């Protein structure tokens, strides 16, 4: 564990003033400095270069993923993998007929996207199965999570970031609609990935020859109110070119069954029964389907701030610690680890669901800075830092704007966070004189989204080789 013999840096007095350029940007945004907490420390140093309201507990939004992913890397190891066991129940005939059920037991793997679902089903076919006389049975009991609507958090049920966790999470319970203009026919061809059994999707949408692309999603007038039918009542401007639109599927409960049946049949398989929930047998599985290593999964979580993947990982920590994945067991596992790492600093930390898509999560800039300092000295430091978005180059920071983002592209690895009333950044930066700093900044205020220029000004200040002491 990180705590063994590790002395975490101590903050200097917490009354330093923010740099004047940061204060000016906050004033323009009509955000009081009291709504902001900041820590800037040299990596491995005992003191802080800047500490402003650093001990106040704040909502960090998706910066919470730093806690979840570092805990997982430390507790499980970068090479750890999820295993999804599969049973071929019943005798197999010479013509590829399975006289029984195909059983798949979920263990929380967040990486079962379309390509990997195909590989899993292909493995079944390689075992000689072409026709399933029974059912495809899904065991989802490894996680105990309350049934929730994707609309519960912000009223946006079709947003992929609102997908709910599941022990057998397939393709994030999402679909991607593709639009390919065919000017000669006056339409755009519509595709859907993955295929969904029993769902009818309009094959084309009207194509407008004139006009700019504009707000093309609104122009399409999507109607997804009927889970069995996706239709479009609008049109697409030809100027848009090829477009793709990721969506959460409206009927989350039926998603797994629809995807597995459609993909199995698309691969030439036959199914006499149906796809249903059930329990896996106590016998040894026919084979186990392994996930990519945790180090790769953590990179996807942090680079692209994938909420449901983070929640899957959070619940997995509870599953590994206590044999069942629930928010309570996950909070206990992560909480115990945090106290080992941060000591008393962990007392006020509240980790709700591991992703930051929560109004309840609380942590101070002080605690986050201490966590980043501990990570800097950790054996998993390379995997952890490599998982963070690179300023102006990839992930959620690929389109970062502002003078600091332009001047110092590639010189910072930062996790971002954003909710209504919250913006935050946390990570590491390398100054032009080759000094590495930990930086944390959290803004909790109704105008928080207007604070981005202030965060850019803070980055610019922190990057200076010989910064002036804040006045």
Give the C-alpha separation, 292 to 103, whole Å. Answer: 22
Q: CB-based contacts of 13: which residues, under 8 Å, 6+ apart?
A: 51
pLDDT at 3: 41
Q: Which residue has the higher pLDDT, 465 or 243?
A: 243
pLDDT tens string 23-80: 999 999 999 999 999 999 999 998 999 999 999 999 999 999 999 999 999 999 999 9
pLDDT at 470: 45
For 123-132, what is the mean pLDDT? 97
pLDDT at 122: 98
* pLDDT for 469 beyond 50: no
Name the band, by pLDDT with cuts 50, 70 and 90, for residue 254: very high
pLDDT at 161: 76
Boundaries of every domain in the chain? 20-79+294-463, 83-150+252-290, 160-248
Angle at alpha carbon of residue 389, lines to 29 and 447, rounded to 5°: 15
Name the band, by pLDDT with cuts 50, 70 and 90, for residue 465: low
* pLDDT for 148 beyond 80: no
For 304-329, what is the mean pLDDT? 97
Per-residue tokens: 92: 């197999």
For 242-298, give the DSSP string.
Answer: SEEEEEE-S-HHHHHHHHHHHHHHHTT-EESS-EEE----SSPPSEEEEPPPHHHHH
Give the C-alpha separation, 225 to 120, whole Å. Answer: 31
Report in angstroms the alpha-carbon separations of 433 from 214, 389, 440, 458, 470: 44, 22, 20, 17, 20
* pLDDT for 257 beyond 50: yes
pLDDT tens string 263-281: 999 999 999 999 999 999 9
**180 in Cβ contact with 145 (< 8 Å):** no
For 441-449, what is the mean pLDDT? 98
pLDDT at 349: 97
**pLDDT averaged over every residue in the chain:** 93
Least confident of 84-93, 243-252, 461-470: 461-470
Give the C-alpha separation, 140 to 280, whole Å. Answer: 9
The reply to whether 83-150+252-290 shares the fold of 20-79+294-463 is: no
Three-state secondary structure string covering 289-309: EECCCHHHHHHHHHHHCCHHH
Buried b / exposed e across 41-61, counting CB within 10 Å, b at 16+?
bbbeeeebbbbbbbebbbbbb
Give the C-alpha separation, 283 to 88, whole Å. Answer: 11
* pLDDT for 10 beyond 70: no
For 163-180, give the DSSP string.
Answer: PPP-TT--GGGEEEEEEE
Q: Which residue has the higher pLDDT, 12 or 462?
A: 462
pLDDT at 5: 38
Report if pTM > 0.85.
Answer: yes
In CATH, what number does 83-150+252-290 get? 3.50.80.20
Name the band, by pLDDT with cuts 50, 70 and 90, for residue 455: very high
Per-residue tokens: 235: 């049109």
**Cross-strand bridge partners of residue 151:** none
For 170-185, what is the mean pLDDT? 96
Give the C-alpha separation, 38 to 461, whole Å. Answer: 13
For 439-448, what is the mean pLDDT? 98
For 183-205, what is the mean pLDDT? 96
* Burial tier of 2 (Cβ tally within 10 Å: 0-12, 13-18, 19+): buried
pLDDT at 467: 53
Name the band, by pLDDT with cuts 50, 70 and 90, for residue 94: confident
* pLDDT for 15 beyond 60: no
pLDDT at 4: 41
Name the band, by pLDDT with cuts 50, 70 and 90, for residue 14: low
Name the band, by pLDDT with cuts 50, 70 and 90, for residue 162: confident
* 20-79+294-463: CATH topology: Beta-lactamase (3.40.710)
pLDDT tens string 379-399: 999 999 999 999 999 999 999
């Amino acid at each position: 564990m990180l705590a063994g013999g590790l002395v975490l840096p101590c903050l200097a007095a917490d009354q330093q003033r923010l740099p004047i350029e940061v204060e000016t940007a906050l004033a323009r945004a009509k955000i009081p400095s009291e709504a902001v907490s900041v820590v800037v420390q040299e990596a491995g140093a005992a003191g802080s270069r800047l500490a402003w309201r650093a001990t106040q507990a704040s909502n960090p939004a998706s910066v919470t993923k730093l806690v979840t992913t570092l805990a997982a890397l430390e507790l499980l190891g970068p090479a750890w993998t999820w295993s999804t066991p599969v049973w071929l129940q019943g005798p197999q005939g010479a013509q590829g007929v399975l006289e029984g059920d195909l059983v798949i037991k979920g263990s929380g793997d967040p990486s079962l996207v379309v390509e990997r679902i195909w590989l899993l089903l292909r493995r079944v076919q390689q075992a000689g199965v072409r026709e399933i006389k029974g059912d495809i049975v899904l065991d989802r009991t490894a996680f105990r999570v309350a049934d929730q609507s994707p609309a519960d958090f912000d009223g946006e049920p079709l947003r992929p970031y609102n997908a709910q966790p599941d022990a057998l999470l397939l393709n994030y319970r999402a679909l991607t609609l593709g639009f390919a203009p065919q000017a000669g026919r006056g339409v755009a061809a519509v595709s859907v990935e993955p295929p969904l059994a029993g769902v009818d999707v309009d094959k084309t949408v009207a194509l407008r020859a004139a006009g700019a692309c504009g707000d093309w999603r609104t122009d399409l007038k999507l109607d997804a109110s009927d889970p069995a039918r996706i239709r479009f009542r609008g049109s697409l401007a030809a100027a848009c070119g090829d477009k793709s639109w990721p969506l959460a599927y409206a009927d989350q409960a039926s998603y797994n069954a629809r995807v597995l049946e459609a993909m199995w049949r698309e691969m030439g398989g036959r199914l006499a029964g149906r796809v249903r929930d059930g329990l896996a047998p106590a016998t040894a599985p026919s084979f186990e389907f392994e996930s990519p290593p945790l180090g790769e999964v953590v990179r996807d979580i942090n680079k692209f701030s994938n909420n449901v993947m983070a929640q899957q990982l959070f619940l997995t920590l509870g599953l590994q610690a206590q044999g069942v994945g629930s928010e309570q067991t996950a909070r206990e596992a992560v909480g115990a680890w945090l106290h080992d790492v941060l000591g008393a600093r962990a007392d006020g930390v509240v980790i709700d669901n591991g992703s930051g898509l929560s109004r309840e999560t609380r942590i101070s800039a002080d605690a986050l800075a201490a966590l980043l300092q501990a990570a800097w000295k950790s054996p998993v430091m390379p995997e952890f830092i490599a998982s963070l978005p690179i300023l102006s180059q990839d992930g959620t920071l690929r389109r970062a704007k502002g003078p600091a983002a332009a001047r110092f592209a590639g010189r910072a690895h930062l996790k971002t966070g954003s909710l209504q009333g919250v913006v935050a950044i946390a990570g590491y930066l390398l100054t032009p004189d080759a000094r590495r700093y930990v930086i944390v900044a959290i803004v909790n205020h109704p105008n928080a989204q207007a604070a981005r220029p202030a965060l850019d000004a803070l980055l610019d200040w922190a990057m200076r080789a010989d910064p002036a002491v804040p006045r």
